[in-house]
Structure 1
Amino acid sequence: MRPELLSPAGSPESLRAAVECGADAVYLGWGSFNARQSAKNFSDEEFSAALAYCHERGVKIYLTLNTLVTDRELDAALQCAKTASALGVDAVLVQDLGLFDLMRAALPDLPLHASTQMSLFTSGGAREAAQDGCERVVIARECSAEDTAHICKNCPAEIEVFVHGALCMCYSGQCAMSALIGGRSGNRGRCAQPCRLPYTLAETTGDGAARQSNPPPFAGKPKKSSYPLSLKDNCLAGNLEAMAKMGVACLKLEGRMKRPEYVAVVTGIYSRLLRERRGPTAEESAALEAAFSRTGFTDGYWQGTTGPALFGIRPADAQEPKELFAAAKAAVEKGGLRTVDVTMDAAFRKDAPCTLTVRDADGHAATVSGPVPEAARNRAVTAEELEVRLKKTGGTAYRCEQISVSADDGLSLPAAAVNALRRDGLAALSALRTAPPKRRVLPLPALAEASCAADAPALTCSLARVDQLTEDLLACAPARIDLPLDLFDTLSSLPEFDGEYCVILPRVWRDRDEPRLLELLDRAKALGVSAGLAGNLGHLSLLRQSGLSMDGDFGLNVFNGRALGYLAGKGLRSATLSFELRGAQMRDLPKVLPTEAIVYGRLPLMITENCLARNGDGCSCERPHALVDRTGASFPLLSVWGHRTEVENCKPLYLADRDDWKRLGLTFARLRFTDEAAAECVRIFRTYQTGGAVPEEFTRGLFDRGVE
């Protein structure tokens, strides 16, 4: 079966371009809860008109409600979904676990799609979303052909793949760089794209301080190597047949921020390739690149490769393809590129109203009647003449593929009456095609009344290295110590203490890694670990198999009490709140599950498929590195599972000199140690127990200011 072609519609003009040029479906933003707040998006009137326009032409509309929402915003977001459902939207894309839980309860007939912002890249994660009611899962852009085929084979939901357009450096849904640097959250649709800025790679002393701590300002045009976070655009135009064979249900084109002419060009080419079951010609490839690219395209992730070849920038002097865009615009404005085939049956009888039945291939049939034909005074109208008039569907969404006209002899009917009969017939068919489906709206389930809020949190700590686990740290009596799972590849024992050991599962992995991960979980359990931190829906099946207790990590993006309720239903015993929440929002969040928050440490800005150290100066992950921006700020790089990189914030979050973090109702407060020396970990822990001086370099993170 041919995959669906899904095009971006950042504006009504782009929507028309997508539909006219062959899209099977479009995705768009309406209201305040979508991941492209800077796009033009749609007003209420435009949204209703878009639904009618698309459904009349057999094109689906998917609404993007794929941002994190606070407790105060949940009602408005749900009302947006209710209205869209009543109007007939075909599906809603969602990221927030709390909103997802609300919609599946209140709107059980509304199809839900798991947004790529849910960070799903394994069959286990996709199955978890499918079991909870997602009809489709949009998997991470970093998935290879092998990964995608495995997910398609092992997940009952439809699988959607991004095939063309911009690539984020970080796994979608896990990027906090824009939020922490400028307060504009990518998880809230406000990303400022700091990944497109220049950085340099520097070795560090091991304590997070860059040896190249004060680089000179960039002079002139930065070299290509100065953009280590700027990926080329994705182009998988040559792999569409392979995707169809492996069972990919939908091919998504990125570009809600792009102009309508871009949408027209890219949609038109991909539509042709799908219809004709082939790869692009040299001319089509050139047109795709001319429409928009960053020094060319890449299909590296699909091929399972990483490295410098995937990176590129948009040249400052890049020229707009005026002729290409002008031709695309003219074709769209002319219209008629997208029509629906219909058949007509008309009857013109003596002494009876004339009738017309119009049918489409989807099973709709509309019958209308007109005036009674009169006896001809001069020349009678013929069946052939009536057929010609009825087939004139120009300027509508329809094309008459076949017509049958039965007419008695000797009758007369004005041309205006025949035209009106045709218009009425097509309008009646349109009413059937655009009628919203009947969907239930059920009462909302109440949140659990019992509160899990605590008077004061117990301190926990997460470590990055074995050498940070010392007797002095244990003497601080943390309630829990979190250790990366991959450390258990070499650990032969764990020192005893009165608290609990917990494993941190890799934030990113693949299906092929899971046998090894299960081995390590068994080993950790044998050494005394009793729980695991789940930062992804795909972690849940692994932890269930291991028999370890489950706690939620920050990767789950818990932003509201409903998300806590959802995770409680999944069997988690606690969950970490998103560090994009303000302290006041954490305090007010309904705690239907014990909660944790990070109160110290370098907060993670990105998790990347590429090893940034290897991209910069060869495979040297054993040595500490950092990215240095144009201001001299140094962002340490941690090498993590799968030869990936986690980019840490330039300054640690520090709240030990304050008491308000103790009064948020948290059950646990976590100190997140990354590049600190063992003695520094102990010193900081004791400072949080007893108070202390403010360090020279620190940040309050988003605790006070929050995000847009």
Structure 2
Amino acid sequence: MTIEILAPAGGQEQLVAAVRSGADAVYLGTGNFNARRNAENFDEAALKGAVEYCHGRGVNVYVTMNTLVKDMELAALYKEIELLAASGVDAVIVQDLAVAGLFKRHCPSMPLHASTQMSIHNLEGVLSAEEMGFSRVVLARELSLQEIEKIARGSNIEIEVFVHGALCMSISGQCYLSSILGGRSGNRGLCAQPCRLDFHSGQRDHALSLKDMSHIAAIDKLIGAGITSLKIEGRMKKPEYVAAAVLACREKVSGQPVDLSDLRAIFSRSGFTDGYLTGKRGLDMFGYRTREDEEAGKTVRGKIASGYRNELSRIPVDMRLTLKEKEKSHLKVTDGKFIIAVQGDIPEADADQEQDHDFAFRSLMKTGGTPFALRTLDTEKEGSLKLPPGKLNAMRREALDKLLEARSRIIPRKFIPPFDPPRMKKQERSPILRVRIENQQQLFAGIDQADKIYLPCNEIDLKIMDRFGDKLIGEMPRLIFPAQEKMVISQLAKLQEAGLQHVCAGNPGS
């Protein structure tokens, strides 16, 4: 199975750093419908250039459309879908099911990835996403290796996990702290990260700030668990961070020794944690960015940047050189998909027979400065003929330039108009009152007048069911991790047997 290294691209510099460091795919945002609206992001022209650049180098482009969208924004969303269809991107990452529905309607060929903002954290959630037409799920970051493996082994769609980057103090997609404190919702792409402030708990400072996760050392175990894609968090980070993280992942995937010292120096919050993956959760998972952390980054920034200054020759090509008397020389180059043929000068007589196959190979293998690497060369010569190295080099450059142009050509996806805005149904009755309470202690006089009453399932007993009857709706836990599934299923079975008729689920896995 081919494993994908997926890198963040908050802007053009980060995108180039990711590709030249060896990423197999990048994810980026385009406008107001992505969870990092304060990143540089990509406008229409920049997106087109990004797709051309990446596709030319064999790298996929995924676009984040992973925020909740309001009804008044659906017309703008429709325009965004039209733009993405025209740009030829490889997939979109979605949180809002309405967004997924509009893509299915207007650009049905676009692969849909379920964002970590959907908080999918169990097998039932993945299976639900598959039924809804998603081709990949980005799992919640709070899962252990055993839980990840259970999910991956039990599903048929691609599974993506974060292997490095920031952790949410809450659960991604479930945190309202930034929204409540400052009106900047993480589900609207504007999280202000108030959890990084100096909250205190007893003697502990920065009591809500988690260290960044790093599961790079466990990549081989994740691959063994059946993971498709290894994701790096960080669209707000600098290009040197992106390069260091991608390089570390690439080294681990290829079986090389991995030294995380540069990555730790370029960005960490007093080190990294693997507490969720190992199931060892404790206070050592917490940390914040100190002045020493910031100073450490300055010492390695130049070293890391030098590593992606040049193109990474990563795409193997096969060549065939043909030299015939009194005919122009021919060079054919293929990457397995495209075939490029160019002509050169008429070859000269090679009286000394100095130009053999190895000589031609040495000239044509000089692909530096391009994303290509010569894999094989076939030569066809009539008699003793040669072509000066300068002429061979010119043919190679022309052929590889044309090959890169062919690979970079955008292939739009079919877009189906028109936009049909949702129509609000006329209310046939007056508004009704529904009440949600957290526990039985919140019951109040007059609550019986409510049309429906929501109460967590673990707060429901026979007395409550007798009192409210069909009005009662059991609220399922928002999060049901694999270890809790049997308990929840048993609880639901007992409530159903006792007569509970309705439950409310707040997550695809519920």
TM-score by length of 1: 0.67
* SS at structure 2 position matched to 1:332: coil
The residue number in structure 1 matching 2:341 is 368
For residues 467 and 367 of structure 1, do their structure 2 counterparts lie closer, same or farther at Cα, with a shift above 3 Å needed? closer
State whether residues 88 and 435 of structure 1, in contact with CA within 8 Å, keep that contact through their aligned partners in structure 2: no
State whether residues 93 and 112 of structure 2, in contact with CA within 8 Å, keep that contact through their aligned partners in structure 1: yes
The residue number in structure 2 matching 1:487 is 459
What letter matches 2:414 in structure 1?
R
**Separation of aligned partners in 2, 1:163 and 1:375:** 56
Report the CA distance between 1:443 and its aligned residue. 4.2
Report the CA distance between 1:6 and its aligned residue. 0.9
Write the deviation string for residues 74-94 of structure 1: whole angstroms up to 9, x where unpaired.
233333233333332111111
Report the CA distance between 1:177 and its aligned residue. 1.5
State whether residues 477 and 505 of structure 2, in contact with CA within 8 Å, keep that contact through their aligned partners in structure 1: no
For residues 382 and 27 of structure 1, do their structure 2 counterparts lie closer, same or farther at Cα, with a shift above 3 Å needed? same
* SS at structure 2 position matched to 1:494: helix
Report the CA distance between 1:7 and its aligned residue. 1.1
Alignment of 1:603-642 (within 5 A): none
Please, which of 478, 496, 517 is the counterpart of residue 488 of structure 2?
517
What letter matches 2:306 in structure 1?
A
* SS at structure 1 position matched to 2:5: strand
- In structure 1, runs of 5+ residues without a counterpart are 203-222, 540-708
Report the CA distance between 1:121 and its aligned residue. 0.5
Report the CA distance between 1:201 and its aligned residue. 4.6
* SS at structure 2 position matched to 1:72: helix
What letter matches 2:334 in structure 1?
R
The share of aligned pairs that are identical, in percent, is 37
Asked if 1:30 corresponds to 2:4, the answer is no
Write the deviation string for residues 458-488 of structure 1: whole angstroms up to 9, x where unpaired.
1111111123336x3344x110111101123
**Separation of aligned partners in 1, 2:77 and 2:38:** 18
What letter matches 2:320 in structure 1?
D
State whether residues 313 and 373 of structure 2, in contact with CA within 8 Å, keep that contact through their aligned partners in structure 1: no
Write the deviation string for residues 353-403 of structure 1: whole angstroms up to 9, x where unpaired.
43221122xx22413232561666999994555544433322111121222
Write the deviation string for residues 191-212 of structure 1: whole angstroms up to 9, x where unpaired.
111111123458xxxxxxxxxx
**Separation of aligned partners in 1, 2:254 and 2:465:** 60
Please, which of 469, 473, 491 is the counterpart of residue 502 of structure 1?
473
State whether residues 165 and 254 of structure 1, in contact with CA within 8 Å, keep that contact through their aligned partners in structure 2: yes
Alignment of 1:179-328 (within 5 A): 179-201=179-201, 225-276=204-255, 280=258, 284-318=259-293, 319-328=295-304
For residues 520 and 454 of structure 1, do their structure 2 counterparts lie closer, same or farther at Cα, with a shift above 3 Å needed? farther
What letter matches 1:368 in structure 2?
A
For residues 9 and 407 of structure 1, do their structure 2 counterparts lie closer, same or farther at Cα, with a shift above 3 Å needed? same
State whether residues 320 and 331 of structure 2, in contact with CA within 8 Å, keep that contact through their aligned partners in structure 1: yes
What letter matches 1:350 in structure 2?
E
The residue number in structure 2 matching 1:401 is 375
**Separation of aligned partners in 1, 2:350 and 2:23:** 51
For residues 345 and 534 of structure 1, do their structure 2 counterparts lie closer, same or farther at Cα, with a shift above 3 Å needed? same
The residue number in structure 2 matching 1:134 is 134
**Separation of aligned partners in 1, 2:439 and 2:44:** 53
The residue number in structure 2 matching 1:88 is 88
Asked if 1:426 corresponds to 2:397, the answer is no
Report the CA distance between 1:408 and its aligned residue. 3.1
The residue number in structure 2 matching 1:156 is 156
* SS at structure 2 position matched to 1:184: coil
Looking at secondary structure, tell me which structure has more helix per residue. Answer: 2
**Separation of aligned partners in 1, 2:223 and 2:49:** 32
TM-score by length of 2: 0.91
Report the CA distance between 1:409 and its aligned residue. 4.2
For residues 17 and 351 of structure 1, do their structure 2 counterparts lie closer, same or farther at Cα, with a shift above 3 Å needed? same
* Count of aligned positions: 508
**Separation of aligned partners in 1, 2:68 and 2:470:** 33
For residues 297 and 33 of structure 1, do their structure 2 counterparts lie closer, same or farther at Cα, with a shift above 3 Å needed? same
The residue number in structure 1 matching 2:58 is 58
State whether residues 312 and 371 of structure 2, in contact with CA within 8 Å, keep that contact through their aligned partners in structure 1: no
Alignment of 1:291-690 (within 5 A): 291-318=266-293, 319-333=295-309, 335-360=310-335, 363-371=336-344, 373=346, 382-384=355-357, 386-409=360-383, 417-437=391-411, 439-443=413-417, 451=425, 453=427, 455-469=429-443, 472-475=445-448, 477-488=449-460, 491=462, 494-497=465-468, 500-539=471-510
State whether residues 341 and 398 of structure 1, in contact with CA within 8 Å, keep that contact through their aligned partners in structure 2: yes
For residues 377 and 97 of structure 1, do their structure 2 counterparts lie closer, same or farther at Cα, with a shift above 3 Å needed? closer
Report the CA distance between 1:240 and its aligned residue. 1.0
What letter matches 1:274 in structure 2?
V
**Separation of aligned partners in 1, 2:419 and 2:472:** 35
Write the deviation string for residues 568-609 of structure 1: whole angstroms up to 9, x where unpaired.
xxxxxxxxxxxxxxxxxxxxxxxxxxxxxxxxxxxxxxxxxx
**Separation of aligned partners in 2, 1:351 and 1:502:** 88
What letter matches 1:109 in structure 2?
S
